[in-house]
Chains A and B, each alone.
Chain A
Amino acid sequence: MAIIEIEGLAKSYRVYQKKEGLAASLKGLFRRRYREVQAVRGIDLQVEPGEFVAFLGPNGAGKTTTLKLLSGVINPTSGKATVMGHVPWKRENSYRRRFALVMGQKNQLWWDLPAQESFRLHQQIYQIPPAEFKQNFDELADLLEIRDLVQQPVRELSLGERMKMELIAALLHSPEVLFLDEPTIGLDVIAQHNIQQFLKYYQEQRGITILLTSHYMKDIAALCRRVVIIAQGELKYDGSLTGIIDRFSEHKLVTLQFADEQPVTGLSRFGEVVNDEYPKVQLRIPRSQVAETLSAMLDVGVIDDIAVEDPPLEELIADFFSQVSNQSKATGQDADDSDRMS
């Protein structure tokens, strides 16, 4: 049975629309114009227990809105969702004790106090039995290597250390479902890597279900087997990370290393020359024509080495995102930014 079931979930906001200038501001005092912004437009999704799913999408695609819907912060405009059998926006305590939401840009800890105090508070709020609390805390503190830091006021911690504390605070009550909104935002490479390693290990150990949004491809490649792409509030792709390449990539990158000193000309008839640092030349070639192009190219000159690769994932996804936003501009749909609402 699916642990998260989403059916036709949609959320639109009403935003006050202000025109430029003082006159317009004065007018706005009396009559306000609102614009309907559709942040999420009917998403269907099922997540099985123990899955680690990544939400991918440009800013304002509706990722954060979806997480907010699932954690019960906001009500949907239409559609259904259940998490562990609970309707999130009913905000029952029995649900709230079983999940956690971590937002990379939001701080849940008491700023002026040592993190230990926030943990104690969570122990009480979530009614964690002392033995379980101690065991969970010890495990998390050791995994994240922050034991010496829990006595230090949170404001004195680095961003990476703070994120670790946030994660501990969120995991002390052993949630079965965890929502992570950009958990590595603004962190340096080492801190990012630490958090990734931790999440990977913890998720495998506990078998909990995690939904993650991130802009870092590395996070997603390291953690998630399943990727859901959301753009313009709609689900555009649901599958494996490598599947994205099959689905969205129409080209392969072919790198040729020539043996000749004399430059070979006329390569552009095979495909677009992406990089020309003779004797090393890179071409972009339609996938369907790779085989025949390669054999044709062998006649052009003496080739030392050939490499055929998929284009980098980041590039593919960036292409896809800009395609989507161009389409929507063409059809006059709203390009909205739901992150602004956070």
Chain B
Amino acid sequence: MYVRVVTWWTILRIGLEERLVYRADFALGTLMRFLPIITQIFLWAAVFETVGGGSVAGYSYENMVAYYLLTMMSRAFSSMPGLASGVATQIRNGEIKKFLIQPVDLIGFMLLNRIAHKLTYYMVATLPFAGVFYLCRGFFVGGWPPAETLLIYSMTLLLGFLLGFFLEMCIGLISFWFLEVTSLLFVYMLLNFFLSGHMFPLDMLPDWAATIVDLFPLKYLAYFPAAVFLGQLEHAEIIRGLWLEIGWLLTFMVLSRLMYWYGVKQYSAYGG
């Protein structure tokens, strides 16, 4: 066990070092992600002004901006820039061979690499994030949620990270069968944008649509943690959501394993 931990730590550490090579590009890229916040705040301000203040589908202006800021937070955990396309590239140009020849597991390796990726991101982004939340503290009319909610909230963020990882891993592994997954990835990004709740709170949807979205795993990537934080969900709803999320996570973990196993079989039979 100790040996394994050291191995994991080494992979993680090297991933961190690699991320830190291009410091300037990395820092700039991270900061640029904060720009949309300003446009979103203005957008919702305009929307609420047109409807004459009050609330839209149960959300006040303050609530809406708070919700938006929280989805940013969710996505800081669940979004996986370059994961699926990276796996696809590795399969296409044959780099994947490394994982067949060396005694190391592709999915485990990529997971550690992604954790390193995220950790470096937090190192750079924590301060700006804190700044934005401080400046926008007025939008959180309910103040800090109770400790129990915060605990569940952190759980949903971590689960969101894992779910996001295994979901995109599966999409990347599709390129064992179809070499090009760019369009597929585009469709996924589009669905993700709307169905994860990144664009607007999912409880704004009409009932029939909400039921469908509720069955999708995407809502755990943005909407669910934010709704937990804002106290939008009943206790029972939260528990049900957590179980469903864990179910989805296990599904995609198993699916990625199966896909990798069959993919390698296919690869070694036809490609190589």
CA distance A286 to B230 in the complex (A): 94
Determine whether the beta carbon of B10 is less than 8 Å from that of A120.
Answer: yes
Complex contact B102–A125 (CB within 8 A): yes
Q: Does A71 contact B (CB under 8 A)?
A: yes
Kindly list chain A residues whose C-beta atoms are within 8 Å of the C-beta of B22: 112
Assuming the contacts A13-B270, A106-B94, A120-B14, asked whether A125 and B103 have C-beta atoms less than 8 A apart, the reply is yes
Most buried by A among B14, B21, B100, B272: B272
**Alpha-carbon distance A97/B102, docked complex (angstroms):** 7
Indicate if the CB atoms of B101 and A113 lie closer than 8 Å. Answer: no
Residues of B within 8 A of A153 (CB): 21
CB-contacts of A79-120 with B (<8 A): 89, 91, 93, 96-97, 100-101, 106, 108, 110, 112-113, 117-118, 120
Residues of A within 8 A of B11 (CB): 121, 124
Residues of B within 8 A of A125 (CB): 7, 102-104
A64 to chain B, nearest CB (A): 9
| A97 in contact with B103 (CB, 8 Å) | yes
Given known pairs A113-B18, A117-B14, the reply for A74 and B7 (CB within 8 Å) is no
Contact of A73 among B7, B21, B100, B270 (CB under 8 A): B100
* Interface flag for B240 (CB, 8 Å): no
Q: Is B17 an interface residue (CB 8 A)?
A: yes
B18 touches A108 (CB 8 A): no
Taking a contact as CB atoms under 8 Å apart, the answer to whether B14 and A96 are in contact is no
The answer to whether B272 touches A341, judged by C-beta atoms less than 8 angstroms apart, is yes
B251 on interface, CB distance cutoff 8 Å: no
CA A124 to CA B11, docked complex, whole Å: 8
In the docked arrangement, what's the CA distance between A73 and B102, Å?
Answer: 10
Tell me whether B269 and A112 are in contact (CB under 8 A). Answer: no
Q: What residues on B are CB-neighbors of A72 within 8 Å?
A: 100-101, 268
A residues adjacent to B (C-beta < 8 A):
13-14, 65, 68, 71-75, 89, 91, 93, 96-97, 100-101, 106, 108, 110, 112-113, 117-118, 120-121, 123-127, 153, 341-342
- Further 11 A-B residue pairs, CB within 8 A, beyond A71-B101, A89-B268, A153-B21: A13-B270, A68-B272, A73-B100, A74-B269, A97-B103, A106-B94, A112-B22, A117-B17, A124-B7, A124-B10, A127-B7
Q: Which residues of B contact A (CB under 8 A)?
A: 3, 6-7, 10-11, 14, 17-18, 21-22, 94-95, 97-98, 100-104, 265, 267-272
What are 14 A-B pairs at a CB distance below 8 A?
A73-B97, A73-B101, A73-B272, A75-B265, A75-B268, A75-B269, A89-B268, A101-B101, A113-B18, A120-B10, A124-B7, A126-B103, A127-B3, A341-B272
